[in-house]
C-alpha cells in the first residue's frame, strides 16, 4: 500500500502503475469533502515518491465521484472571502499536482463524475469512461461555478463552445457526448482499469503525447483576441438571457472563462477563484445551497413517513375534470393504474382527451414512443359507475367544489369500498374535518391537495384531519411519491398551508388597489422581486371566481383576512370578468394560433378599479414590496407557530413548489431571516394600522428579542 486513508487508498498494481482508489468510508458514494481533499493531497505525494510508472484514478463504489459535499458549503461560504480563497488555493494545489505528476495519469470513470469529480478527471492527462458514465458541472444550480479548475481545464480540453455550454447549463452529459468534445478520450463497456493501464503504456511508449497535452492545458487558449472577444460577448448575452437577472452564476462563470482563456494556468485559476468568491459570498448561492438541502430534507421526510405503507397497486379518482383528468394522467404516466369515474360521459371524454393531448405532446417531443404512450393510456380505465373503483387501494375525490356534493359522494363511496381503502379529497377550500363528518370511518380520510396543472406542479399538500390515522397519511404520502410529486404533510385549517398564505398576500394587494395604487406597478414590483407573475396576473390565471370563493372561506376562518371594502376582485366577479378563463380580468386575453392565452391591456379595468377605490395616488416600489411580503411572510410565521406545518423548511418549500415563490430567495421565512427578525418586526409595526394581518406574531417577536432565526 502506498497510502491508506478513510476516503482514499493508493496501491501499486502488478503493472507498476499506481492506483488511487476513491472509497469513502461509511458512504454509498464518493464525494469531495474536506477529508477527501486532504487525503488526495497526501495520496498524490506518496505516489510521487514511489516507483510508480503512471497513475490510475478509480473508484471502488458503483459511481466515480458525485461532486463536492454540499452539506459543508454553508459553513465554508459564511467564513468570509479570505477563507474561501484560501480553501480554493489549497484545493487547487492538489489538482495542479495531479496535472504536474512526473508520470502520466488517467482517470477511469465508472459512473457519475460530476463537479469536483469531473474536475479531478480533467486534471489527469487522459480519461477513459464506462459507456454508462455521466459527467458534467452542476455547480450553476447551486449558484456557484466550478472551483477546482473546471473553467480553466474544460475550455482547453474541449474548446470554448462546449465549455460555455456545459458549465452554464449545469446539465449532465453522457459518456458519448463527452467523447464528442474530447472531454473523455475513450469509452469502454468493460475492463475499465485495464483500458486505463493500456493508455498509460501507450503514453510511456510515446504513442500518446503527454507533453503536448500538458502544455496546452497550462497555456492560454490559442484564439485571436478579436475572435475571442466576439465569442464571449455573444456567449454572455445568450447565457444572461437564459438564466435571468436573479441567477448570476452562469454569466459569472462565462466571464471567468473569458479572462481565463487569455492567460496561463495560474492566472486563469485566479480568475476562477475571483468569480467563485463573488458568487459564494452572495445571498443567491446561500439560498440555492439551502434549496438543495431542503429538497433532500423533504425527500427524506416523505420517505420516512411512507415507510411501511403498502404501495398503491391501483388508484381511483372521482371527477374527471381539470384536476381529475390531470391526476389520472400523472398516475398512469408514473405506472399506477387508475380508474377515472365521473357522472357524465362528457366529463370522462374531456378527462381522457386531456390525457391524450399531454401524451401526444410527449411523443412529439421524442420523450415517449407511440407504443409507450398507448400503454400509459391503457392504465386509465374510465367509468360511469363504482364497480371498478371498489378494487382501488386509494381513491382521490376531485368532484366539484361543493361541500354538500362532496359529502354525499364521500359517503356513497365509503359504503362501497373495503375498510382498508384510503379516501382522499382534492378540495382546495373545504375543511377536511367537516368532510370527515360524512364518513363513518374518518381515520381513513385525509386531504390530498394537488395544484393546477397537475403534471407540472411538483407539490402535493397532504392534509391531516383531526381524526386522520398515521397509516392514512403514510399511504397518501407513498402515493404522492409514486406520482413523482413532493408531498408536504400539513394540519387542517382554512386554506391549508399554501392558500392560507396566498390570501393575505391577495388581501394586501386588494388593500393597495383600494388606496389608489396601480395594479400594473404592483405586478412589475413583484415580478422584479422574482415571482413568475405579479398578483393581478396570478389572480387572472387562478380565476377571479375561484379567488372570490376562496377569499370568502378565508375571511370566515380568520377575522384578520376580512376586507372592509368591496374589492376590485369582487367587482370583476360581479360583471363576469373571471380572468383568463373568460378572456378578461385585470388584463385581456385572446388565444394565439396554438390556443395559448396571450395577455394584453384591458381598456375597461381602470374604470372598474376606480369605482371601488379612493383616488389614485403614488406608491413607492418599496412600500408595495413591503406590504405584500409582510402579509405573506407573517401568515407563514403564524402557520409555523400554530403547528399547521412542522418546520420552516416545509413552509418555505410549500410556497416555492406550490406558489412559485422565487427559489433564489429561499422562501418566506428565509427571507425574514435575511431581513432580520428584529427589522421585520419593526417593519410590521409600521404597517399595523392596516389591520391585524400586519401584526407580528408572538413567535416572531420572541425570535427578534432572542436574536435567533428560522434557519440555524
Ligand atoms: N382547478 C384548480 O385549479 C384546482 C386546484 C386544486 C384543487 N382543485 C379542486 O379539485 C376539485 C375539482 O376541481 P376541477 O377544477 O377539476 O373541477 P371541474 O369542474 O373541472 O371538474 C369536476 C368534475 O367532477 C364531476 N362530478 C361532479 N359530480 C360528480 C360526482 N358525484 N361523481 C363523480 N364526478 C362528479 C363533473 O362532471 C366534472 O367532470 C375541486 O374540489 C377543486 O376545488 C381545483
* Grid coordinates belonging to 481: 411519491
Distance, CA of 333 to CA of 372 (rounded, Å): 10
Q: From the CA of 342, how far away is ligand 1's center (Å)?
A: 10
Structure letter (DSSP) for residue 307: T
- Is residue 589 a contact partner of residue 581, using CB atoms and an 8 Å limit? no
Cell of 205: 511508449
Cα torsion 186, 190, 192, 196 to 10°: value is -50
Nearest CA to ligand 1 atom 7: 428
Residue nearest to atom 33 of ligand 1 (CA): 342
- Does residue 200 sit in helix, strand or coil? helix
Q: Per the structure block, which three cell numbers stand in for 30?
A: 464518493
Q: Choosing from 172, 273, 449, 549, which is the catalytic residue?
A: 449
pLDDT band, very low/low/confident/very high, at 499 (cuts 50, 70, 90): very high
Atom 27 (ligand 1): residue with closest C-alpha?
Answer: 399
Q: Which helix (H) or strand (E) holds 296?
A: helix 283-306
Kindly state the helix (H) or strand (E) to which residue 279 belongs, with its residue range: helix 265-280
Nearest ligand 1 atom, CA 409: 31
Whose C-alpha lies nearest to ligand 1, atom 12? 398
Helix (H) or strand (E) holding 588: strand 587-591
Residue 80, sorted as left (phi over 0), alpha (psi -120 to 50) or beta, turns out to be left
109 bridge partner residues: 129
The percentage of residues in the chain with a pLDDT greater than 90, rounded to a whole number, is 98
Asked whether 76 and 87 are in contact (CB, 8 A), the reply is yes
256 close to 272: Cβ distance less than 8 angstroms: yes
646 C-alpha to ligand 1 centroid (Å)? 29
Grid cell 477511469 — which residue?
A: 108
**What cell numbers appear for 304 in the block?**
420516512
Report the pLDDT averaged over residues 633-651. 98
Nearest to 531, CA basis, from 621, 642, 665, 422:
665
Render the burial of 12-38: b for 16+ CB within 10 Å, e for the rest: bbebebbbbbbebeeeebbbbbebbbb
The pLDDT tens digits of the residues spanning 387-431 come to 999 999 999 999 999 999 999 999 999 999 999 999 999 999 999
**pLDDT tens digits for 612-631?**
999 999 999 999 999 999 99
Please report which confidence band the pLDDT of residue 6 belongs to, taking 50, 70 and 90 as the band edges.
very high
Q: How far is CA 326 from the centre of its chain?
A: 21
Answer yes or no: is pLDDT of 503 > 90. yes
- Of all helices (H) and strands (E), which one includes residue 629? helix 621-641
CB count, 10 Å around CB of 583?
15
User: Whose CA is closest to 462, among 479, 482, 441?
Assistant: 479
664 has pLDDT over 90? yes
Given a cut of 90, is residue 670 above it in pLDDT? Answer: yes
Helices (H) and strands (E) in the chain, counts: 30, 20
CA of 36 to the centre of ligand 1 (A): 54
Reported as a single tens digit per residue, the pLDDT across 15-64 is 999 999 999 999 999 999 999 999 999 999 999 999 999 999 999 999 99
Confidence of residue 591 (pLDDT cuts 50, 70, 90): very high
Q: Look at ligand 1, atom 4, and give the residue with the nearest C-alpha.
A: 452
What kind and span of H or E run contains 216?
helix 210-218
Q: What is the CA radius of gyration of the chain?
A: 29
Work out which ligand 1 atom sits closest to the CA atom of 429: 43
Distance CA 192, CA 568 (A): 68
| Residue ranges around ligand 1 (CB below 6 Å) | 318-324, 341-344, 347, 398-401, 405, 409, 426-428, 450, 452
Q: What percent of the chain is helix, strand and coil (3-state, nearest 5)?
A: 55, 15, 30
CA of 524 relative to ligand 1 center, distance in Å: 33
Take residue 513 and report the three cell numbers written for it.
Answer: 388597489
598, 607 Cβ separation under 8 angstroms: no
Q: Ligand 1, from 340, 392, 400, 426: best to mutate by most atoms within 8 Å of Cβ? A: 400
* Average per-residue pLDDT for the chain: 97
Residue 601 confidence (pLDDT): 97
Instruction: Check whether 712 has a pLDDT greater than 90.
Output: no
Q: Is the pLDDT of residue 594 over 90?
A: no
The neighbour count for residue 443, using CB atoms within 10 Å, is 15
449 is catalytic: yes
Task: Kindly give the distance from the C-alpha atom of residue 432 to the centroid of ligand 1, in angstroms, as a whole number.
Answer: 16
Q: Compute, in angstroms, the gap from residue 210 CA to the centroid of ligand 1.
A: 67
Residue owning grid cell 410556497: 655
Other Cβ atoms within 10 Å of 416 Cβ, number: 13
Written as nine digits, the cell of 294 is 431542503
Number of the ligand 1 atom closest to the C-alpha atom of 318: 33
Half-sphere exposure of residue 157, counting CA atoms within 13 Å on the CB side? 28
The residue contributing the CA closest to ligand 1 atom 38 is 321
DSSP 428: S
Report helix, strand or coil for 422.
Answer: strand
Q: Sorting pLDDT into bands at 50, 70 and 90, what band is 73?
A: very high
pLDDT at 641: 98
Do residues 472 and 446 touch, judged by C-beta distance below 8 A?
yes
Tell whether the model's pLDDT for residue 519 goes beyond 90. Answer: yes
| 530-583 pLDDT tens trace | 999 999 999 999 999 999 999 999 999 999 999 999 999 999 999 999 999 999
Distance CA 540, CA 578 (A): 7
**Res. 354: pLDDT tops 90:** no
Mean pLDDT of all residues in 369-375: 96
Residues 6+ positions from 375 with CB-CB distance below 8 Å: none
What does the DSSP assignment read for 86-130?
Answer: HHHHHHHHHHHHHHT-SS-EEEEE-SEEETHHHHHHHHSSEEEEE
* Cell digits of residue 328: 389520472
- Tens of pLDDT, residue by residue over 181-229, are 999 999 999 999 999 999 999 999 999 999 999 999 999 999 999 999 9
Residue 107: beta bridge partners? 57, 127
Residue 221: DSSP 8-state: P
Percent over 70 (pLDDT), the chain: 100
> What is the rounded CA–CA span in Å between residue 67 and residue 325?
40
Distance, CA of 483 to CA of 295 (rounded, Å) = 17
Angle between helices 621-641 and 648-659 (to 10 degrees): 130
**Omega before 453 cis (within 30°)?**
yes
Q: Which of 705, 568, 694 is nearest to 631 (CA)?
A: 694
Amino acid at each position: 500500500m502506498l497510502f491508506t486513508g478513510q476516503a482514499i487508498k493508493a496501491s501499486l498494481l502488478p503493472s507498476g502503475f499506481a492506483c488511487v482508489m476513491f472509497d469513502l468510508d461509511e458512504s454509498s458514494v464518493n464525494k469531495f469533502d474536506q477529508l477527501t481533499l486532504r487525503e488526495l493531497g497526501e495520496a498524490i505525494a506518496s505516489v510521487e515518491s514511489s516507483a510508480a510508472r503512471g497513475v490510475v484514478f478509480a473508484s471502488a463504489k458503483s459511481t466515480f465521484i458525485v461532486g463536492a459535499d454540499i452539506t459543508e458549503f454553508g459553513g465554508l461560504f459564511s467564513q468570509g472571502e479570505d477563507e474561501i480563497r484560501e480553501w480554493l488555493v489549497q484545493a487547487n494545489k492538489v489538482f495542479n499536482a495531479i496535472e504536474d505528476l512526473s508520470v502520466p495519469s488517467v482517470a477511469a470513470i465508472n459512473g457519475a463524475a460530476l463537479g469536483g469529480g469531473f474536475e479531478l478527471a480533467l486534471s489527469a492527462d487522459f480519461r477513459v469512461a464506462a459507456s454508462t458514465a455521466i459527467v458534467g458541472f452542476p455547480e450553476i444550480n447551486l449558484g456557484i461555478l466550478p472551483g477546482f479548475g473546471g473553467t480553466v481545464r474544460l475550455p482547453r480540453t474541449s474548446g470554448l463552445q462546449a465549455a460555455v455550454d456545459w458549465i452554464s447549463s449545469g446539465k449532465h452529459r453522457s459518456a458519448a457526448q463527452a467523447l464528442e468534445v474530447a472531454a473523455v478520450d475513450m469509452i469502454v463497456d468493460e475492463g475499465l482499469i485495464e483500458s486505463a493501464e493500456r493508455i498509460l503504456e501507450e503514453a510511456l511508449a510515446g504513442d500518446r503525447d503527454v507533453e503536448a497535452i500538458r502544455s496546452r492545458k497550462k497555456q492560454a487558449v490559442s484564439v485571436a483576441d478579436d475572435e475571442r472577444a466576439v465569442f464571449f460577448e455573444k456567449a454572455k448575452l445568450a447565457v444572461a438571457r437564459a438564466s435571468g437577472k436573479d441567477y448570476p452564476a452562469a454569466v459569472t462563470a462565462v466571464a471567468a472563462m473569458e479572462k481565463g482563456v487569455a492567460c496561463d494556468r495560474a492566472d486563469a485559476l485566479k480568475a476562477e477563484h475571483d468569480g467563485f468568491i463573488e458568487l459564494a459570498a452572495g445571498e443567491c448561492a446561500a439560498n440555492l445551497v439551502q434549496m438543495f438541502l431542503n429538497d433532500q430534507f423533504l425527500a427524506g421526510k416523505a420517505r420516512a413517513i411512507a415507510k411501511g405503507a403498502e404501495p398503491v397497486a391501483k388508484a381511483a379518482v372521482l371527477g374527471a375534470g381539470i384536476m381529475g383528468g390531470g391526476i389520472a394522467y400523472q398516475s398512469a404516466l408514473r405506472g399506477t393504474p387508475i380508474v377515472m369515474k365521473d357522472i357524465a360521459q362528457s366529463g370522462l371524454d374531456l378527462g381522457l382527451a386531456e390525457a391524450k393531448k399531454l401524451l401526444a405532446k410527449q411523443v412529439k417531443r421524442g420523450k415517449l414512443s407511440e407504443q409507450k404512450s398507448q400503454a400509459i393510456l391503457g392504465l386509465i380505465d374510465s367509468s360511469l359507475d363504482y364497480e371498478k373503483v371498489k378494487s382501488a387501494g386509494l381513491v382521490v375525490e376531485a368532484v366539484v367544489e361543493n361541500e354538500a356534493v362532496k359529502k354525499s359522494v364521500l359517503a356513497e363511496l365509503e359504503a362501497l369500498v373495503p375498510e382498508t381503502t384510503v379516501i382522499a379529497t382534492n378540495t382546495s377550500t373545504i375543511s377536511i374535518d367537516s368532510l370527515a363528518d360524512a364518513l363513518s370511518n374518518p381515520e381513513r380520510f385525509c386531504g390530498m391537495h394537488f395544484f393546477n396543472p397537475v403534471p407540472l406542479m411538483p407539490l402535493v399538500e397532504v392534509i391531516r384531519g383531526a381524526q386522520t390515522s398515521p397509516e392514512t397519511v403514510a399511504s397518501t404520502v407513498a402515493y404522492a411519491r409514486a406520482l413523482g410529486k413532493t408531498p408536504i404533510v400539513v394540519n387542517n385549517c382554512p386554506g391549508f398551508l399554501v392558500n392560507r398564505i396566498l390570501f393575505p398576500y391577495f388581501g394586501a394587494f386588494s388593500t393597495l388597489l383600494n388606496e389608489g395604487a396601480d395594479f400594473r406597478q404592483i405586478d412589475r414590483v413583484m415580478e422584479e422581486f422574482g415571482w413568475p407573475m405579479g398578483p393581478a396576473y396570478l389572480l387572472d390565471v387562478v380565476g377571479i371566481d375561484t379567488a372570490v370563493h376562496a377569499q370568502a372561506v378565508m375571511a370566515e376562518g380568520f377575522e384578520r383576512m376580512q376586507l372592509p371594502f368591496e374589492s376590485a376582485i369582487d367587482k370583476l366577479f360581479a360583471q363576469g370578468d373571471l380572468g383568463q378563463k373568460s378572456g378578461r380580468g385585470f388584463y385581456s386575453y385572446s388565444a394565439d394560433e396554438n390556443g395559448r392565452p396571450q395577455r394584453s391591456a384591458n381598456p375597461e379595468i381602470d374604470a372598474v378599479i376606480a369605482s371601488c377605490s379612493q383616488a389614485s395616488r403614488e406608491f413607492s416600489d418599496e412600500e408595495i414590496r413591503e406590504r405584500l411580503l409582510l402579509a405573506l411572510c407573517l401568515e407563514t410565521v403564524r402557520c409555523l407557530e400554530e403547528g399547521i406545518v412542522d418546520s420552516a423548511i416545509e413552509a418555505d418549500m410549500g410556497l416555492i413548489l406550490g406558489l412559485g415563490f422565487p427559489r433564489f430567495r429561499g422562501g418566506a421565512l428565509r427571507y425574514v431571516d435575511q431581513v432580520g427578525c428584529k427589522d421585520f418586526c419593526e417593519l410590521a409595526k409600521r404597517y399595523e394600522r392596516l389591520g391585524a394581518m400586519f401584526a407580528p406574531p408572538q413567535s416572531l417577536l420572541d425570535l427578534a428579542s432572542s436574536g435567533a432565526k428560522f434557519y440555524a
